[in-house]
Amino acid sequence: GSFDVVVAFDVIEHLVGGDSWQVQFLREIERILKPDGILLLTTPNWLCPLEGHTFLLGPQFLPRRVANRYIQWLRPHFFQEYRTYAEVHLLSPWRMKSVLAEAGLSPLHELPWCTD
């Protein structure tokens, strides 16, 4: 690889293909990073009760169809940016570790918090 640092803030959850695209994305980052390179990666915390895209309590815990209705009812402007909540693929902390491992990466530091 050729890069010392790659920064991907709040990107991975927007990859349309879900898990498989997330793994491909991270594999490409692993490929372009120098052996001692660093990836700075952030994504909204799936466990945070206030979901970071809608700013509503818990749509990430609902079935997608129910989540879409819930969001449409309380945040209709959300659908001006996204066609459906299914376009947002939040990762749980354990799934994030799994996706990183599948891509050949391992976290040096984890800092889970609710920022939104």
For position 39, what pLDDT does the model report? 96
Residue 116 confidence (pLDDT) = 52
Q: What angle do CA 76, 9, 1 make, to 5 degrees?
A: 145
What does residue 46 show for φ and ψ, rounded to 5 degrees?
Answer: -60, -30
pLDDT along the chain (116 residues), means of 10: 95 85 96 96 89 90 91 86 78 90 89 69
pLDDT value of residue 23: 95
Which residues are CB-neighbours of 86 under 8 A, at least 6 positions away? Answer: 64, 68
Element (H, E) at 42: strand 33-42
pTM for this prediction: 0.83
**Which residues contact residue 116 at a Cβ distance below 8 angstroms, ignoring those fewer than 6 apart?**
44, 48, 50, 51, 52, 55
Looking at residue 16, its pLDDT comes to: 78
What φ, ψ does residue 51 adopt, rounded to 5°?
A: -70, 135
Domain extents in the chain = 3-102
pLDDT of residue 103: 95
Residue 115's pLDDT is: 59
